[in-house]
C-alpha cells in the first residue's frame, strides 16, 4: 500500500471505524420494544392538532375489522370514498383537496367505532430527515433562549418520530403526537426544520407541518428500503443485504413469540400462572418486593421465577388507562395484567414502567403476573419501594396505589434449562435499511409537500458511491409516499475540522460535490450551501437559523413560485483558458445574485487552486472581473485545472451580492 493510500485508509478508520459487512449489536438494547402495540383504528399521524397536506387528495388510513366500511367527514360533510377494511384490517381512503386553513374537525366512523380529530389544519407538510445536524434541537441553537421566547406559532406543528432501527418494515412509527409550536414544545423541535418552517410560514401564510425523523451518525443506506438497494445498487450492498435478510428472519410478532417462549419454558404452568385469576398460590413463597430475591428467601436461585400479586384498583379508575412502575428488575421480565401480556424488557438494571389499556382495568382486585429471568445476583426487583406504584394518568390528582409489599414467588426453571428468550427484529444505527424500516416506512403514504435532507457526514469516505445512493434514496421515498416527484432539498455540509492549509485537501469536498451532482441530475431538487457557517471544532454548527433560512430560499424559488428570488450562491458553469494570456483561466458562473463579490471585510479572494496537466495544485491568485473570476499562478505557466473550496473546512470568500456563498467545485474530473 502506498503512503498516500495508507494515510487515506487510516483516516477512514478513525472517522467511521473499520468497514464491516454487517453491523448488528449483540445482546439487549435500550431501544428494544417493551410493550405490544395494537394497530389503531386511525394511524397516529391523524390525531388532534395534525396538519394534513393541502390542495391534493390526501390519504387517510388505519385498521379495523375485515369488511368494515369506514367513512370520513370533514366539518360534517362526507369526504372521499367509503373505505372497506381488507383481510388484514387495513382501510384507506383519500380526502380533499382542501385549501390551506382551519381549524377543522374530521370524523372517522365505521359504525361500531368513531374517532373525531379536532383542531386539524390543512397546510404544507415537510419531512425533515438525516443525521445529527437535522436532529439538533432549537434549545441548542444560537441564541436559543431568545428564539424560544418568540416561538409562538400555533400554525407551525411538529410530529417527531422516535429512534427505531427495525430489521423489517413497520406499520406504526414509535409513539408520537403532533405538537403546536410553543416556547416549551419548540425546545426539542429540529432546529433546521423549525427555522425553515418559520420562514415559509411567514412568507407563504399557510400552516406548516414538520415530520421529523432523523438519527445522529447514520449513513444514507440506513434510510433506504432494501428493495430500492436491491434494484439500483445490487453490487454495493449485496453481502450486507444478504446478512440482513438472515438476521431479520420471518416478520413475526415479538410479544407473541415471548408468550410462546414462556409457555414452552414452563409447560403446563405458564398458562394458568398468567391467566387464572383464582390461582391457588398457597404453596408459593412469600417474598418482600422490591428486594433482591437472594435476600428475600430465594438464595442461589438463577433462572425463571414467577411472581404473582393482587392489586386493588380504585373504583374511579375502572376502564381508564393506568401506569405500572415496577422498579429496577434484573435481568429480564415478561408482565401480564389480568391475563393479558402488557410488556417485557430484556435490559438488566433498568426501571420498568408499563401502560395498561383501560379495557383491562376493573375496580377492585386485579392480578399481576411477572416472569423474571436472572443470571446472577442481585436478582429480581432491585429498587426502592417508592418506585413500585400504580397511577392513573387521567386522574393525576388521585394518590398512587402502592405495589410494594409481600408478593408470591415460585422458582420454576433453572438457567441451564432455559432456551434463549426471543429477540425483536431490531438493529441499531449502523444497520442497513433500519431507519427506513422503522421511521420512514410507517409514515408512508402520508401526503407531504417535500423533504429536507441534512446528511452526508457518515458517508463521506464513500463519496463516489453517494452519487448513486442519494438519488436512489430520493427515488425510493418519492415512490413510497405516492405524491409524485416531490421537492427534495439538500443541505450541503458546513465547514468542519482544521482550517485548510494546503491548496487541496481530501475530506468533505467530495461529498459536497456528490450532493451538488445529485441536485443537478435529479429533477425537482435543490441545494442549500452552508460552507461558510460551520465550526472548525464542532461538527454541529449552532447557526441553524441561517441553514433553515437558506433552505427556505430554495423552497420559495423552486416550490412556491418566487422565481426572481436569489436562492443560491454563485455556481460554476464553465472555464476558458484565455486565448491571449494562456497563463490564466477565466471562470464563469450562474446565480450571480446582482454580481460577484468578496465577503465583507476581506480584501482578496481565497480558496482557489490551480494546476497544470500534472495536477499539482498550488494556491492561485484570483480576481473578480465583471461576472467572472480570473485565476493564475506564477508557478503554473500553463494552467489546465481549477479547484475552489476543496477541503473539509476550506478558505472560501466568494459570494454574490445577495449574500450567498459560492458552491465549491473542481474542473479536473
**Residue pLDDT, tens place only, 610-624:** 999 999 999 999 999
- Smallest CA-to-CA distance from 442 within 228, 171, 226 is with 171
- Average pLDDT, rounded, for the chain: 95
Say how many C-beta atoms besides its own lie within 10 A of residue 236's C-beta.
Answer: 16
- Could you tell me if 590 and 571 are in contact, meaning their C-beta atoms sit under 8 angstroms apart? yes
Evaluate whether residue 538 is within a structural domain: yes
Q: Compute the average pLDDT of residues 600-614.
A: 97
- Bridge partners of 575? 587
Do 586 and 562 reside in the same domain of the chain?
no
Domain's final residue, options 566, 590, 616: 566
- Could you tell me if 586 and 575 are in contact, meaning their C-beta atoms sit under 8 angstroms apart? yes
Evaluate whether residue 330 is within a structural domain: yes
Question: How many angstroms separate the CA atoms of 218 and 205, rounded?
Answer: 34
Question: How many angstroms separate the CA atoms of 198 and 200, rounded?
Answer: 6
Torsion of CA 651, 657, 663, 666, to 10 degrees: -80
Do 561 and 577 reside in the same domain of the chain?
no
Evaluate whether residue 504 is within a structural domain: yes
Could you report how far apart the first and last alpha carbons of the chain are, in Å? 24
Evaluate whether residue 54 is within a structural domain: no
Evaluate whether residue 50 is within a structural domain: no
Domain total in the chain: 3
Domain's final residue, options 566, 583, 604: 566
Do 596 and 653 reside in the same domain of the chain?
yes
287: which 3 cell numbers? 417474598
Q: Compute the average pLDDT of residues 323-343.
A: 97
40: which 3 cell numbers? 389503531
DSSP string, 28-78: --TTS--S--PPPSS-TTSSTT-EEETTS-EEEEEE-STT-EEEEEETTEE
Residue 3 clears pLDDT 60, i.e. is over it: no
SS3 per residue for 318-356:
CCCCEEEEEEEEECEEEEEECCEEEEEECCCCEEEEEEE
Evaluate whether residue 443 is within a structural domain: yes
Do 25 and 174 reside in the same domain of the chain?
yes
Domain CATH code at residue 370: 2.60.120.260
Domain CATH code at residue 548: 3.40.50.1110
pLDDT tens, residue by residue, 29-77 = 999 999 999 999 999 999 999 999 999 999 999 999 999 999 999 999 9
Total length of the chain: 669
Question: How many angstroms separate the CA atoms of 641 and 508, rounded?
Answer: 20
Model confidence at 17, in pLDDT bands (50, 70, 90)?
A: very low
pLDDT tens, residue by residue, 360-406 = 999 999 999 999 999 999 999 999 999 999 999 999 999 999 999 99
Model confidence at 409, in pLDDT bands (50, 70, 90)?
A: very high
Helix, strand and coil content of the chain, in percent to the nearest 5, comes to 25, 30, 45
Evaluate whether residue 575 is within a structural domain: yes
Do 661 and 579 reside in the same domain of the chain?
yes
Do 338 and 374 reside in the same domain of the chain?
yes
Torsion of CA 381, 385, 386, 388, to 10 degrees: 50
99: which 3 cell numbers? 385549501
596: which 3 cell numbers? 460577484
Do 202 and 131 reside in the same domain of the chain?
yes
% of residues, the chain, pLDDT over 90: 94
Question: How many angstroms separate the CA atoms of 59 and 56, rounded?
Answer: 9
Domain's final residue, options 365, 390, 417: 417
DSSP string, 395-434: GTTSPPEE--EEEEEEEEEEGGGPPPPP--SB--TTSTTH
Evaluate whether residue 651 is within a structural domain: yes
The answer to whether the peptide bond before residue 163 is cis (omega within 30 degrees of 0) is no
340-345 and 332-337: which strand pairing?
Answer: antiparallel
628-632 and 584-590: which strand pairing?
Answer: antiparallel
Residue 485 clears pLDDT 90, i.e. is over it: yes
Secondary structure of residue 284 in the 3-state scheme: coil
Do 154 and 206 reside in the same domain of the chain?
yes
Higher pLDDT among residues 25 and 367, named by residue? 367
Do 342 and 221 reside in the same domain of the chain?
no
Sign of CA dihedral 376, 381, 385, 387: positive
Secondary structure of residue 336 in the 3-state scheme: strand
- Could you tell me if 413 and 264 are in contact, meaning their C-beta atoms sit under 8 angstroms apart? no
Model confidence at 250, in pLDDT bands (50, 70, 90)?
A: confident
Residue 18 clears pLDDT 50, i.e. is over it: no
C-alpha Rg value of the chain to the nearest Å: 29
Q: Compute the average pLDDT of residues 461-486.
A: 97
Do 536 and 575 reside in the same domain of the chain?
no
453: which 3 cell numbers? 435532507
12: which 3 cell numbers? 477512514
What domain range is 646 assigned to? 571-666
Do 3 and 133 reside in the same domain of the chain?
yes
- Could you tell me if 305 and 410 are in contact, meaning their C-beta atoms sit under 8 angstroms apart? yes
pLDDT at 24: 67
Say how many C-beta atoms besides its own lie within 10 A of residue 540's C-beta.
Answer: 17
Question: How many angstroms separate the CA atoms of 284 and 298, rounded?
Answer: 12
Residue 212 clears pLDDT 50, i.e. is over it: yes
Angle between helices 191-204 and 544-558 (to 10 degrees): 40
Do 591 and 614 reside in the same domain of the chain?
yes
The answer for residues whose C-beta is within 8 angstroms of residue 64's C-beta and 6 or more apart is: 41, 70, 85, 89, 91, 110, 113
pLDDT at 125: 99
pLDDT tens, residue by residue, 617-647 = 999 999 999 999 999 999 999 999 999 999 9
Amino acid at each position: 500500500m502506498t503512503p498516500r493510500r495508507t494515510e487515506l485508509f487510516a483516516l477512514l478508520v478513525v472517522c467511521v471505524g473499520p468497514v464491516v459487512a454487517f453491523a448488528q449489536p449483540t445482546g439487549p438494547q435500550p431501544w428494544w420494544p417493551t410493550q405490544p402495540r395494537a394497530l389503531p383504528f386511525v394511524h397516529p399521524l391523524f390525531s388532534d392538532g395534525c396538519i394534513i397536506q393541502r390542495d391534493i387528495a390526501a390519504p387517510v388510513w388505519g385498521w379495523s375489522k375485515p369488511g368494515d366500511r369506514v367513512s370520513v367527514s370533514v366539518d360534517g360533510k362526507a369526504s372521499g370514498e367509503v373505505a372497506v377494511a381488507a383481510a388484514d384490517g387495513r382501510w384507506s381512503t383519500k380526502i380533499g383537496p382542501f385549501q390551506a386553513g382551519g381549524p377543522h374537525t374530521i370524523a372517522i366512523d365505521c359504525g361500531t367505532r368513531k374517532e373525531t380529530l379536532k383542531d386539524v389544519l390543512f397546510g404544507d407538510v415537510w419531512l425533515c430527515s438525516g443525521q445529527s445536524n437535522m436532529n439538533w434541537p432549537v434549545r441548542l441553537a444560537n441564541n436559543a433562549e431568545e428564539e424560544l421566547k418568540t416561538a409562538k406559532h400555533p400554525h407551525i406543528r411538529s410530529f417527531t418520530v422516535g429512534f427505531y432501527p427495525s430489521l423489517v418494515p413497520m406499520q406504526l412509527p414509535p409513539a408520537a403526537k403532533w405538537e403546536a409550536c410553543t416556547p416549551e414544545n419548540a425546545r426539542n423541535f429540529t432546529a433546521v426544520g423549525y427555522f425553515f418552517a418559520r420562514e415559509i410560514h411567514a412568507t407563504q401564510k399557510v400552516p406548516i407541518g414538520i415530520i421529523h425523523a432523523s438519527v445522529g451518525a447514520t449513513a444514507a443506506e440506513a434510510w433506504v428500503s432494501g428493495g430500492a438497494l436491491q434494484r439500483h445498487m445490487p453490487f454495493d450492498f449485496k453481502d450486507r443485504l444478504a446478512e440482513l435478510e438472515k438476521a431479520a428472519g420471518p416478520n413475526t410478532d415479538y410479544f407473541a413469540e415471548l408468550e410462546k417462549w414462556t409457555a414452552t419454558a414452563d409447560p403446563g404452568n405458564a398458562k394458568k400462572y398468567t391467566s387464572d385469576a383464582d390461582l391457588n398460590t398457597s404453596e408459593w413463597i412469600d417474598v418482600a418486593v422490591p428486594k433482591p430475591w437472594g435476600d428475600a428467601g430465594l438464595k442461589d436461585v438463577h433462572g425463571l421465577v414467577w411472581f404473582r400479586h393482587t392489586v386493588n384498583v380504585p373504583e374511579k379508575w375502572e376502564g381508564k388507562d393506568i401506569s405500572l412502575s415496577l422498579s429496577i428488575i434484573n435481568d429480564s421480565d415478561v408482565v401480564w395484567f389480568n391475563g393479558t401480556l402488557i410488556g417485557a424488557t430484556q435490559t438488566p438494571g433498568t426501571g420498568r414502567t408499563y401502560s395498561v389499556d383501560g379495557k383491562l382495568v376493573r375496580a377492585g382486585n386485579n392480578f399481576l403476573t411477572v416472569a423474571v429471568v436472572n443470571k446472577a445476583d442481585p436478582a429480581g426487583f432491585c429498587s426502592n419501594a417508592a418506585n413500585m406504584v400504580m397511577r392513573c394518568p387521567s386522574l393525576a390528582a388521585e394518590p398512587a396505589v402502592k405495589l410494594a409489599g409481600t408478593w408470591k414467588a415460585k422458582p420454576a426453571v433453572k438457567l441451564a434449562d432455559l432456551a434463549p428468550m426471543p429477540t425483536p427484529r431490531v438493529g441499531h444505527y449502523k444497520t442497513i435499511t433500519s431507519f427506513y424500516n422503522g421511521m420512514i416506512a410507517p409514515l408512508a403514504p402520508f401526503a407531504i409537500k417535500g423533504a429536507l435532507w441534512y446528511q452526508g457526514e457518515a458517508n463521506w469516505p464513500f463519496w463516489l458511491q453517494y452519487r448513486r445512493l442519494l438519488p436512489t434514496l430520493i427515488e425510493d421515498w418519492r415512490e413510497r409516499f405516492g405524491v409524485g416527484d416531490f421537492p427534495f432539498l439538500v443541505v450541503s455540509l458546513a465547514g468542519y475540522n482544521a482550517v485548510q492549509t494546503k491548496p487541496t485537501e481530501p475530506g468533505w469536498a467530495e461529498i459536497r460535490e456528490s450532493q451538488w451532482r445529485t441536485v443537478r441530475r435529479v429533477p425537482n431538487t435543490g441545494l442549500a450551501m452552508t460552507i461558510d457557517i460551520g465550526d472548525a471544532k464542532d461538527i454541529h454548527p449552532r447557526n441553524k437559523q441561517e441553514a433553515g433560512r437558506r433552505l427556505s430560499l430554495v423552497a420559495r424559488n423552486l416550490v412556491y413560485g418566487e422565481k426572481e428570488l436569489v436562492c443560491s450562491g454563485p455556481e460554476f458553469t464553465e472555464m476558458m483558458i484565455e486565448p491571449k494570456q494562456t497563463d490564466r483561466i477565466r471562470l464563469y458562473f450562474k446565480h450571480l445574485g446582482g454580481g460577484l463579490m468578496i465577503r465583507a471585510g476581506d480584501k482578496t479572494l481565497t480558496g482557489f487552486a490551480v494546476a497544470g496537466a500534472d495536477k499539482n495544485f498550488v494556491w492561485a491568485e484570483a480576481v473578480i472581473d465583471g461576472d467572472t473570476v480570473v485565476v493564475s499562478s506564477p508557478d503554473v505557466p500553463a494552467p489546465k485545472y481549477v479547484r475552489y473550496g476543496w477541503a473539509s473546512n476550506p478558505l472560501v470568500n466568494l459570494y454574490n451580492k445577495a449574500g450567498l456563498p459560492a458552491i465549491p467545485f473542481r474542473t479536473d474530473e
